[in-house]
Amino acid sequence: MGRHVLLIEDEPNIIEAIRFLLTRDGWAVETHSDGTDAVEVIRAAEPDLVILDLMLPGRSGMDILRDLRGIPETAKLPILMLTARGQSRDREMAERAGVSRFMTKPFSNAEVLTAVRDLLAQASRP
Protein backbone atom coordinates (compact mmCIF):
# COMPACT_ATOMS: atom_id res chain seq x y z
CA MET A 1 0.00 0.00 0.00
CA GLY A 2 1.43 3.35 -1.00
CA ARG A 3 1.69 6.50 1.05
CA HIS A 4 1.07 9.13 -1.60
CA VAL A 5 -1.21 12.06 -0.72
CA LEU A 6 -2.43 14.73 -3.11
CA LEU A 7 -3.45 17.93 -1.31
CA ILE A 8 -5.81 20.23 -3.23
CA GLU A 9 -5.73 23.46 -1.20
CA ASP A 10 -5.14 27.13 -2.01
CA GLU A 11 -4.14 28.56 1.40
CA PRO A 12 -0.30 28.56 1.57
CA ASN A 13 -0.15 28.26 5.38
CA ILE A 14 -2.41 25.20 5.36
CA ILE A 15 -0.48 23.66 2.45
CA GLU A 16 2.79 24.08 4.36
CA ALA A 17 1.37 22.79 7.66
CA ILE A 18 -0.14 19.64 6.12
CA ARG A 19 2.86 19.00 3.86
CA PHE A 20 5.26 19.28 6.82
CA LEU A 21 3.10 17.11 9.05
CA LEU A 22 2.57 14.29 6.54
CA THR A 23 6.11 14.34 5.13
CA ARG A 24 7.46 13.97 8.67
CA ASP A 25 5.13 10.97 9.08
CA GLY A 26 6.57 9.30 5.95
CA TRP A 27 4.12 10.38 3.26
CA ALA A 28 4.90 11.64 -0.21
CA VAL A 29 2.85 14.82 -0.54
CA GLU A 30 1.96 16.51 -3.83
CA THR A 31 0.02 19.76 -3.86
CA HIS A 32 -2.26 21.56 -6.29
CA SER A 33 -4.07 24.86 -5.73
CA ASP A 34 -6.61 25.24 -8.53
CA GLY A 35 -10.03 23.66 -8.72
CA THR A 36 -10.37 24.14 -12.48
CA ASP A 37 -8.17 21.17 -13.50
CA ALA A 38 -8.08 19.31 -10.16
CA VAL A 39 -9.89 16.21 -11.49
CA GLU A 40 -7.30 15.79 -14.28
CA VAL A 41 -4.43 16.36 -11.83
CA ILE A 42 -5.84 13.74 -9.43
CA ARG A 43 -6.33 11.19 -12.21
CA ALA A 44 -2.78 11.74 -13.49
CA ALA A 45 -1.19 11.57 -10.01
CA GLU A 46 -2.98 8.36 -8.95
CA PRO A 47 -2.65 9.16 -5.21
CA ASP A 48 -3.60 6.79 -2.40
CA LEU A 49 -5.55 9.60 -0.74
CA VAL A 50 -6.80 13.08 -1.64
CA ILE A 51 -7.16 15.95 0.82
CA LEU A 52 -9.60 18.32 -0.85
CA ASP A 53 -10.52 21.84 0.22
CA LEU A 54 -14.17 22.81 -0.20
CA MET A 55 -13.42 26.40 -1.27
CA LEU A 56 -11.05 26.52 -4.24
CA PRO A 57 -10.45 28.98 -7.07
CA GLY A 58 -11.96 27.80 -10.35
CA ARG A 59 -14.24 25.02 -9.06
CA SER A 60 -15.58 23.99 -5.69
CA GLY A 61 -14.37 20.90 -3.87
CA MET A 62 -17.97 19.66 -3.93
CA ASP A 63 -18.04 19.67 -7.77
CA ILE A 64 -14.64 17.96 -7.88
CA LEU A 65 -15.83 15.32 -5.38
CA ARG A 66 -18.94 14.58 -7.46
CA ASP A 67 -16.83 14.25 -10.62
CA LEU A 68 -14.36 11.88 -8.93
CA ARG A 69 -17.15 9.64 -7.63
CA GLY A 70 -18.52 9.37 -11.17
CA ILE A 71 -15.24 8.07 -12.65
CA PRO A 72 -14.61 4.32 -12.17
CA GLU A 73 -10.91 4.61 -11.27
CA THR A 74 -11.52 7.32 -8.62
CA ALA A 75 -14.94 6.17 -7.37
CA LYS A 76 -13.41 4.49 -4.29
CA LEU A 77 -10.48 6.88 -3.75
CA PRO A 78 -10.32 8.02 -0.08
CA ILE A 79 -11.13 11.73 0.06
CA LEU A 80 -10.73 13.90 3.15
CA MET A 81 -12.58 17.18 2.67
CA LEU A 82 -11.50 20.34 4.48
CA THR A 83 -13.78 23.28 5.05
CA ALA A 84 -13.51 26.55 6.91
CA ARG A 85 -17.25 26.53 7.40
CA GLY A 86 -18.54 23.92 9.78
CA GLN A 87 -22.10 24.25 8.51
CA SER A 88 -24.00 21.00 8.68
CA ARG A 89 -25.42 21.63 5.20
CA ASP A 90 -21.93 21.39 3.66
CA ARG A 91 -21.23 18.21 5.58
CA GLU A 92 -24.53 16.65 4.47
CA MET A 93 -23.90 17.59 0.83
CA ALA A 94 -20.38 16.16 0.98
CA GLU A 95 -21.58 12.93 2.58
CA ARG A 96 -24.29 12.53 -0.06
CA ALA A 97 -21.66 13.14 -2.75
CA GLY A 98 -19.51 10.33 -1.30
CA VAL A 99 -16.83 12.03 0.80
CA SER A 100 -14.80 9.64 2.98
CA ARG A 101 -14.20 12.04 5.88
CA PHE A 102 -14.99 15.69 6.60
CA MET A 103 -12.81 18.02 8.68
CA THR A 104 -13.41 21.63 9.73
CA LYS A 105 -10.64 24.23 9.85
CA PRO A 106 -8.91 25.03 12.09
CA PHE A 107 -7.89 21.47 12.89
CA SER A 108 -5.11 20.03 15.00
CA ASN A 109 -2.13 18.15 13.58
CA ALA A 110 -3.28 15.06 15.44
CA GLU A 111 -6.72 15.23 13.78
CA VAL A 112 -5.18 15.35 10.30
CA LEU A 113 -2.78 12.47 10.98
CA THR A 114 -5.50 10.32 12.52
CA ALA A 115 -7.88 10.95 9.63
CA VAL A 116 -5.25 10.19 6.97
CA ARG A 117 -4.09 7.01 8.73
CA ASP A 118 -7.68 5.83 9.29
CA LEU A 119 -8.70 6.43 5.69
CA LEU A 120 -5.69 4.59 4.32
CA ALA A 121 -6.26 1.66 6.70
CA GLN A 122 -9.90 1.44 5.56
CA ALA A 123 -8.90 1.62 1.90
CA SER A 124 -6.38 -1.22 2.26
CA ARG A 125 -9.01 -3.61 3.62
CA PRO A 126 -10.67 -5.82 1.01
Quick one: fold of 4-124? Rossmann fold (3.40.50)
pLDDT given for residue 86 in this prediction: 61
Give CA separation, 26 vs 16, 66, 67, 110, 126, in Å.
Answer: 15, 29, 29, 15, 23
Model's pTM, two decimal places? 0.94
pLDDT given for residue 125 in this prediction: 76
CA distance 109 to 57: 25
pLDDT given for residue 78 in this prediction: 97
Contact call for residues 49 and 77 (beta carbons, < 8 A): yes
Cβ atoms within 10 Å of 58's Cβ, excluding its own: 13
**Local mean pLDDT, 10-residue blocks, the chain (126 residues):** 89 96 96 98 97 96 97 96 80 92 91 94 81
pLDDT given for residue 106 in this prediction: 87
Residue of 82, 78, 32, 91 whose CA lies nearest to 57 = 32
